Amino acid sequence: MNYDRQYAEYKQSIDTYLANFVDEQKPRTLYEPARYILAAGGKRIRPLLVLLSCEAVGGGKEDAIHAGAALEILHNFTLVHDDIMDHAPSRRGRPTVHKKWDNNVAILAGDALLALAYRALLRTPSSRIREISKVFTEGVVEVCEGQAFDKEFEDDTNVGVADYLRMIQKKTGKMVAAATEIGGLIGNAQPEHLKALRRYGERTGRAFQVQDDLLDITADEEEFGKKIGSDLIEGKKTYLLLMALKNAKGRDRQKLARVFRNGGISKREVKEFRNIYEETGAIRSARQRIAEDIRGAQKDILRLPATEARGMLAWLTDMLLHRTY
């Protein structure tokens, strides 16, 4: 099976749904930004997982498209508000909403996206819509908890690797796990299959975030689409920084601790800090953790019936493992 082509077809169906979803015109300052956000593109991983998880347990993707779109709209809601909090000037090569309009418009557009996500979700034709809505709602709550932990970490000098993993499990992992679990519910999965899908999503979401941390310091800048080392420059506490700090000694440890104290480093120091990450084994540890989670995720889905959808889920985790942007 040509999974690349299949992925492109699924992505196109999701893009088309989102392009036609918001048809209201007024108030202009609400719906123009909403359409602008949804037209920004992206990998559409979360909706793809909803569709594939549904098919993997015998359901039809046409029943899952509404929930898949809901997860993507929700994801974009979080990005709009994250960009405001991070003062981010651009995303995916375009001005962020608060830059193109202003903070008030961005906050309101983000709020609208949350409501629109529920509008899409509730179109799902399933007798298990109550369970689906509960998983979705808990996902919203945990994403907010994860973002709150992330903000608290900015002023906390005692953050460790375990704290970070708990944060990304909520901020990133929960919505990926929600996508696979919701897909399974729509497909009317048996309990053991639903558990396997949930575990697959949790591991895949965690691997995806640690891979993001890794790419920020190791990727090709042009291919990655943003400046390498931006996490360090902004003083973000990532898996790599925390693991390096745990293992470092002497002057290297002092330099790493300075990121905590000063809230970041200069661009010219990025290469030096990458070397520290190499020497302390932080980069190796990140790669090992990603590979371990991907292997675990692929074992989880072996508990599902052997279908093309299951094969594509395995392909997807392998693609995420080897992605370069």
Cα–Cα distance for residue pair 30/11, rounded to 1 Å: 26
Find, among 207, 239, 213, 177, the residue nearest to 317 by Cα.
207
Ramachandran assignment for 87, one of left (phi > 0), alpha (psi -120 to 50 degrees), beta (any other): left
Chain Cα centroid distance, residue 24: 28
- What's residue 222's pLDDT? 62
Query: What is the distance, to the nearest Å, from the Cα of residue 323 to the centroid of all Cα atoms in its chain?
Result: 14
> Looking up tokens 């800048």, which residue turns up?
221
| Residue 270 CA to its chain's centroid (Å) | 25
Distance CA 209, CA 275 (A): 21
Q: What domains, with CATH codes, occur in the chain?
A: 3-321 (1.10.600.10)
Distance between CA atoms of 208 and 10, rounded to whole angstroms? 20
Answer whether 61's CB lies under 8 Å from 51's CB: yes
Backbone angles phi, psi at 225, to 5 degrees: 90, 5
List the chain pLDDT tens, one digit each, 325 residues. 789 999 999 999 999 999 999 999 999 999 999 999 999 888 899 999 999 999 999 999 999 999 999 999 999 999 999 899 888 888 888 999 999 999 999 999 999 999 999 999 999 999 999 999 999 999 999 999 999 999 899 888 889 999 999 999 999 899 999 999 999 999 999 999 999 999 999 999 999 999 999 999 987 666 655 677 888 998 889 999 999 999 999 999 999 988 888 888 898 999 999 999 999 999 999 999 999 999 999 999 999 999 999 999 999 988 877 776 6
Which position has the token pair 């990025």? 270
What is the rounded distance in angstroms from the CA atom of residue 263 to the CA atom of residue 284?
25
Residue 41 CA, chain-centre distance (Å), reads 14
Answer positive or negative: Cα dihedral of 276, 172, 222, 322.
positive
Dist. CA 88–CA 226, nearest whole Å: 12
